[in-house]
C-alpha cells in the first residue's frame, strides 16, 4: 500500500483515459521500493509461464528481482537504451501505478531506475515519477487503461507478437475473460474483424501448445516465434475450400508440419495452402502420414522420452535470439521430421503454375459470358434516343473489335 507520506508531489501532470473519459492526474515521486511488478501483464505472464512448476517468491523484493531478470532477458538492448536515456535526460514519461503499489505501465522505466539506483548513479534515481490510481477503479477499468497505454502508437513498435496473443487469450478467450471483441477493438483502436482474426490465432496457439503437450507454456511459442506460422495456419483454415469433414485433418497436418519444420516456418506453411485446399492432395497427405502422425502424438505424450531440457534455452542462446532470426524447433526425432517433410514437399508441386497458365482463358470466358448481357435490341433503342450514347456504343464496339483482333493476331 502506498501511503500519502510515501510520495512527493511534482509540478507535472498526465492525461489518462479512464472510464471512457480523459482525466488529468497529478504526477508524484514514489520511492522505488514501494512498487511491485504486475504479474498479469502479458509480457511478464509469458515469462512466468516458464516458471509454472516453480513457486515465485511472494516477498516483494524477491519477486521483483525475478521479474527484473525476465525483463532484462526479454530485450537487453532495449533496456540498456532506456537506462542510458534516463540517466542522461531523466525520466520523461510518468509510469502508472495502483494504490497497492502494483505497476500498471512502465515496467522498463522501473527496471532501468532500479538498476541506476543500485549502481549509485544519483539520488534522483531512487524515485519513479508516476500517477497513482485509486482502488475505486475495477480490474476491468484498469485493464482497459492498460490496453490503451500499450496500444498507443509509441508502444506498438516493440511489443512481442506472442505477448500480444497471450493478452488476447487472457482478455477475450480464457475462462476469466472480461472483454467482448467489440469492446476490445474499441480500446485498442483496431477493427473488430482484426481482433477476431487475432482471437483465432490466439486460439490456435493454445491448441498447438496442447498438441505438443505443453499447455499454456507460452514461452515456447515465444522462443519458436510461432506468431507468423500460426497466422498463416489461421488464414488457411479459414479457407472455404476446405471441407468441414477435412478440417481436423488439415489442422493436424499443419500442426505436425509446424512441429517438424526447419528454417522459415511461415513460408513453408504458406506454401502448403494449395495442398490443404485441394481435397485430393489433402487426403493423399493424410493417408500417407497416418502412421507418422500417430508416432508424433505418441512421442509428445510420452513423458519419459521428453525431458524439459529439449525446450529450454541457455542464457547464451537467448542472447543469440536477439541477433538472428533462427527458430528453435521442438526436438522431434529425425525420422519423423523426415517423413513429414518429404510427404508434404512432394505435394507442394507445380499446381500454382497450372492455375497461372489458364488464367487468361478464364478471363476470356468471363468476358464472353458478360457480353451476352449487352442486349442488342436495347442498344438499338438507346442509340436512336441519343446521339451521344450512340457514339459511346460505337467507341466501345471499336475497342471490343480491337481486343478481338489483338487476340486473333496472336493465335
Partner 1 sequence: MEVKKTYYKKKNINKKKRDLKWLNVESIPSNLMDFLELNFKHKYILLNRMSGMTLQEVGEIEGITRERVRQIESKIISILPTFNDVEKVKRIVLDYDITEKEFTEYIRQPISLFRFIRLADKSKVDRKPFEQYLLYMNKVAPQTITKKLGERNKFINHNNDVVSLDVNSVIDEILFCNRKEYTVDKLQQDMERFFSKYDYSAEKKISNRALSGRLSKRENVIHSVKGKFRYYKYDVEELMEYVTNLNDLFNVSDGIYGIRYFFELDPDLMRLLDIKNEAELANVLKKIGYKYFGRLNDIVRQSQVYIGNIQNDKKSKDKFYKDILLQFDGEPLKVVVNYLYNNFYLHKGSTLAYLSKKFASFIYEKNIVLNVPLPQNADFYIKAMKVVCEPIYNFEQVKKKLNKINQNVILSPQLIDRLGYYDRGNTIIKKKYSNQDEAFRALWLVNDYIFTDSIKDFHSRSADFKAYQFELSHDLIRIDYNRYMTIKKFEKSGFVKNDILAFIDEVVSFSKSDMFYTWQYLLNQGFTSGFVEETCFDSLFYERLIFTSPLVRTIQANSYIFINTDNCDVENPTLIKFIEYELGTNPKDIDDFIDELNLKYGLVITKSKVIEKLKQSSYVYSSEMRKVYPNKQMMYQEIYKI
Per CB under 8 A, residues contacting partner 1 are 15, 52-53, 80-82, 84-85, 88-89, 92-93, 152-154, 157, 191, 207, 210-211, 213, 215, 243-245, 252, 267, 270, 279-280, 283, 294, 297, 301, 303, 308, 352-353, 355-357, 359, 365-366, 368-370, 372-373, 375, 378, 381
CA atoms within 13 A on the CB side of 46: 26
To partner 1, the closest distance from the beta carbon of 107 in angstroms equals 16
Residues 6+ apart with CB under 8 A from 147: 167, 171, 184, 187, 188
Contact of 193 with 234, CB cutoff 8 Å: no
State which residue, 65 or 392, has the beta carbon closest to partner 1.
392
State which residue, 199 or 269, has the beta carbon closest to partner 1.
269
To partner 1, the closest distance from the beta carbon of 195 in angstroms equals 14
To partner 1, the closest distance from the beta carbon of 377 in angstroms equals 9
State which residue, 207 or 312, has the beta carbon closest to partner 1.
207
Cα-based distances in Å from 234 to 58, 203, 295, 396: 39, 9, 25, 44
To partner 1, the closest distance from the beta carbon of 364 in angstroms equals 11
To partner 1, the closest distance from the beta carbon of 389 in angstroms equals 10
State which residue, 2 or 145, has the beta carbon closest to partner 1.
145
Please report, to the nearest 10 degrees, the dihedral formed by the alpha carbons of residues 26, 158, 200, 142 taken in order: -10
State which residue, 14 or 178, has the beta carbon closest to partner 1.
14
To partner 1, the closest distance from the beta carbon of 231 in angstroms equals 12
**216: helix, coil or strand?**
coil
* Short-list 265, 232, 246, CA closest to 337: 265
Biggest distance spanned by C-alpha atoms of the chain? 93
Residues 6+ apart with CB under 8 A from 316: none
State which residue, 100 or 322, has the beta carbon closest to partner 1.
322
To partner 1, the closest distance from the beta carbon of 344 in angstroms equals 18
Spell 123-149 as b/e; 16+ CB within 10 A means b. Answer: eebbbbbbbbbeeebeeeebbbbbbbb
State which residue, 35 or 217, has the beta carbon closest to partner 1.
217
Q: Grid cell 483502436 — which residue?
A: 189
To partner 1, the closest distance from the beta carbon of 103 in angstroms equals 20
Contact of 202 with 169, CB cutoff 8 Å: yes
Grid coordinates given for 213: 503437450
To partner 1, the closest distance from the beta carbon of 99 in angstroms equals 26
State which residue, 135 or 349, has the beta carbon closest to partner 1.
349
Sheet containing 21-31: order of strands: 8-18, 21-31, 127-133, 95-98, 103-105
**28: helix, coil or strand?**
strand
To partner 1, the closest distance from the beta carbon of 1 in angstroms equals 32
The Cα–Cα gap between 244 and 30 comes to 57
State which residue, 302 or 317, has the beta carbon closest to partner 1.
302
State which residue, 100 or 333, has the beta carbon closest to partner 1.
333
Residues 6+ apart with CB under 8 A from 384: 390
* CA–centroid distance for 173 within its chain: 15
Q: Write out the H or E segment, with its range, that includes residue 12.
A: strand 8-18
Amino acid at each position: 500500500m502506498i501511503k500519502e507520506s510515501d510520495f512527493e508531489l511534482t509540478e507535472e501532470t498526465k492525461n489518462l483515459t479512464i472510464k471512457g473519459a480523459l482525466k488529468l492526474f497529478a504526477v508524484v515521486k514514489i520511492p522505488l521500493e514501494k512498487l511491485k511488478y504486475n504479474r498479469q501483464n502479458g509480457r511478464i505472464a509469458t515469462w512466468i509461464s516458464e516458471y509454472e512448476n516453480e513457486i515465485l517468491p511472494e516477498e516483494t523484493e524477491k519477486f521483483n528481482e525475478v521479474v527484473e531478470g525476465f525483463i532484462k532477458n526479454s530485450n537487453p538492448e532495449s533496456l540498456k537504451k532506456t537506462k542510458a536515456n534516463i540517466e542522461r535526460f531523466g525520466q520523461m514519461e510518468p509510469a502508472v501505478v495502483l494504490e497497492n503499489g502494483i505497476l500498471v505501465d512502465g515496467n522498463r522505466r522501473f527496471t532501468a531506475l532500479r538498476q541506476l539506483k543500485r549502481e549509485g548513479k544519483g539520488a534522483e534515481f531512487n524515485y519513479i515519477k508516476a500517477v497513482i490510481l485509486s482502488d475505486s477503479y475495477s480490474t476491468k477499468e484498469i485493464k482497459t487503461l492498460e490496453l490503451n497505454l500499450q496500444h498507443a502508437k509509441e508502444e506498438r513498435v516493440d511489443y512481442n507478437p506472442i505477448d500480444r496473443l497471450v493478452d488476447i487469450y487472457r482478455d477475450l478467450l480464457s475462462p476469466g475473460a472480461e472483454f467482448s471483441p467489440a469492446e476490445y477493438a474499441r480500446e485498442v483502436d483496431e477493427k473488430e474483424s482484426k481482433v477476431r482474426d487475432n482471437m483465432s490465432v490466439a486460439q490456435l496457439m493454445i491448441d498447438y501448445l496442447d498438441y505438443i503437450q505443453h499447455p499454456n507454456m507460452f514461452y515456447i511459442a515465444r522462443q519458436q516465434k510461432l506468431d507468423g506460422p500460426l497466422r498463416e495456419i489461421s488464414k488457411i483454415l479459414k479457407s472455404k475450400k476446405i471441407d468441414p469433414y477435412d478440417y481436423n485433418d488439415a489442422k493436424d497436418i499443419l500442426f505436425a508440419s509446424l512441429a517438424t519444420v526447419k528454417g522459415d516456418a511461415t513460408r513453408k506453411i504458406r506454401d502448403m495452402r494449395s495442398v490443404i485446399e485441394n481435397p485430393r492432395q489433402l487426403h493423399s497427405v493424410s493417408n500417407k502420414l497416418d502412421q507418422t502422425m500417430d508416432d508424433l502424438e505418441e512421442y509428445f505424450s510420452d513423458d519419459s522420452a521428453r525431458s524439459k531440457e529439449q525446450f529450454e534455452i541457455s542464457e547464451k542462446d537467448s542472447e543469440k535470439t536477439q541477433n538472428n532470426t533462427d527458430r528453435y524447433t521442438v526436438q522431434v526425432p529425425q525420422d519423423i521430421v523426415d517423413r513429414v517433410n518429404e510427404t508434404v514437399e512432394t505435394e507442394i508441386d507445380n499446381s500454382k503454375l497450372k492455375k497461372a497458365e489458364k488464367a487468361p482463358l478464364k478471363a476470356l470466358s468471363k468476358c464472353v459470358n458478360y457480353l451476352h448481357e449487352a442486349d442488342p435490341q436495347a442498344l438499338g433503342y438507346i442509340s436512336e434516343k441519343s446521339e451521344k450514347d450512340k457514339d459511346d456504343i460505337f467507341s466501345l464496339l471499336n475497342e471490343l473489335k480491337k481486343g478481338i483482333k489483338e487476340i486473333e493476331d496472336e493465335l
